[in-house]
Structure 1
Amino acid sequence: MDAACLDPNRRSGDGAVTVHVLTSGEAGAAVPGLTDVLLDCVEGGASVSFMAPLDRATAEGFWRSVAAGVERGERILLVAEDGDGVLGTVQLVVAQPPNQPHRADLSKMLVHRRARCRGVGAALMQAAEDAGRAAGKTLLVLDTASPEAERLYTRAGWVKVGVIPNFALWPQGGLCDTTFFYKALG
């Protein structure tokens, strides 16, 4: 069993989970819940571009900038929710250079520790792939520093390209390796 499944902050939760794409207006309204997920992930040690301690204002500012990117059509923002609120999120960065209109970057795949081991990550991945297809994308790429996420991506049919040592920092400091994946969308 994954260590994340044994996390004492995780609640079992029996509520139905829904995953959907947020409109620009919905993205702005979801900032508080998205902020809670980001804060939890960084506190839990996830290497997702932020250092600990991450303050709420910085996290909210990040999500406001994501919402602005949704409004400009640069990003597709998906959330997983249950009756208690936002459980997880993932983004597709669809605004790419002119020579890469077929591609999107999958970014900030985050699942709150209380929701792990409930299929939330798999549901977000499937929805992101569907959203990529709907946006006319035929190739998705991502990077991760999480062995748990690597297992999820491999099970979902993503292809591991390679590892770059010492690519980023863990939130508490110290270098971490990053693994790159891609998936061709049929």
Structure 2
Amino acid sequence: MNLRFVLDPQLTCELREQIVALWVDVTNAGGAVGFVAPVAAADVHPLAEETFAGLAAGSDRLLVGYEGDRLVGILIISDNRFHLKTHWRVLKRVMVHPDTQGRGCGAALMREAERIGRAWGLDGLHVTVRGGLGLETFYARLGYREVGRLPRALRLAPGDDRDEVLMWLDLGGHTAAA
């Protein structure tokens, strides 16, 4: 696996469509990225447009991972938009293409986000995960710890409520620079 990461790439029409296609593929493979399978691009587009608007406004940052020229992973580094929380960031829409899973792409993407957070002098990174999928174990291997749980906060379908698990990575920085 040889990944190349780009922070804040130009958000071209082509990249937007690649992100939507990735989002659809990840969701339809069972990924917990805001939807429940099955989805089509038309289902993802409204939330994707909101995400792109946050990126265009400069309040959120996009980290993409490429294997060669192929987009294989993304995550959003979200500004908290509240002055008392500028010393940490939220990671959203963490996803890698299903055919790259198990090869370390997700871990590499998260390590790059950690590297960026440390370079910015952040105190920590926060991510929420959908309970019931074992994602807590993945993040724990990367140094994240569970700091809270919202019971049955996510309703996937009638009778299928899942916990939203709050995970935190302490970076130990003490100056928010970005």
Give the TM-score band, short-chain normalised: 0.7 to 0.9
What is the correspondence of 1:3-18 to structure 2 with a 5 Å cutoff? 16-18=2-4
- Structure with bigger strand share is 2
Q: Report if the CA contact (8 A) 1:80-1:87 is conserved.
A: yes
Aligned residue for 1:99, secondary structure, equals helix
Alignment of 1:27-176 (within 5 A): 29-83=14-68, 85-145=70-130, 147-170=133-156, 174-176=160-162
Give the drift of 1:18.
Answer: 1.6
Post-superposition offset of 1:65? 2.9
**C-alpha displacement of 1:150:** 1.8
Equivalent-residue separation in structure 1 for 2:126 and 2:43 (angstroms): 26
Unaligned runs of 5+ in 1: 1-14
Provide TM-score, normalisation by structure 1. Answer: 0.79
Contact 1:160–1:179, Cα closer than 8 Å, also in 2: yes
CA shift for structure 1 position 128: 1.0
Using the TM superposition, give the Cα deviation of residue 69 of structure 1 relative to its aligned residue in structure 2, in angstroms.
1.6
Cα distance in 1 for partners of 2:121, 2:43 equals 33
Is this contact kept in 1: 2:130–2:164, CA < 8 A? yes
Q: TM-score, normalised to structure 2's length?
A: 0.83
AA partner of residue 131 (structure 1): I
Partner deviation per Cα, 1:31-72 (whole Å, 9 max, x = no partner) = 111112110121122332224432313423433332332222
The match for 1:184 is 170
Structure with the bigger RCO (C-alpha within 8 Å, sep 6+) is 1
C-alpha contact 2:4 2:68 (8 A) present in aligned 1: no
Q: Distance in 1 between matches of 2:4 and 2:98?
A: 17
Distance change >3 Å, CA 176–CA 106, structure 1 → 2: same
Q: Return the offset for 1:77.
A: 0.9
The answer for unaligned runs of 5 or more in structure 2 is 173-178
Distance 2:6 2:38 in 1: 30
Distance 1:129 1:43, change over 3 A: same
| RMSD, aligned α-carbons | 2.4
Q: Would the aligned equivalents of 2:30 and 2:36 in 1 still touch at CA under 8 Å? A: no
**How far apart are 1:137 and its partner, in Å?**
2.2
Aligned amino acid, residue 18 of structure 2? G
Contact kept in structure 1, 2:154 and 2:163, CA below 8 Å:
yes
> Is 2:20–2:41's contact at 8 Å kept on the other side of the alignment?
yes
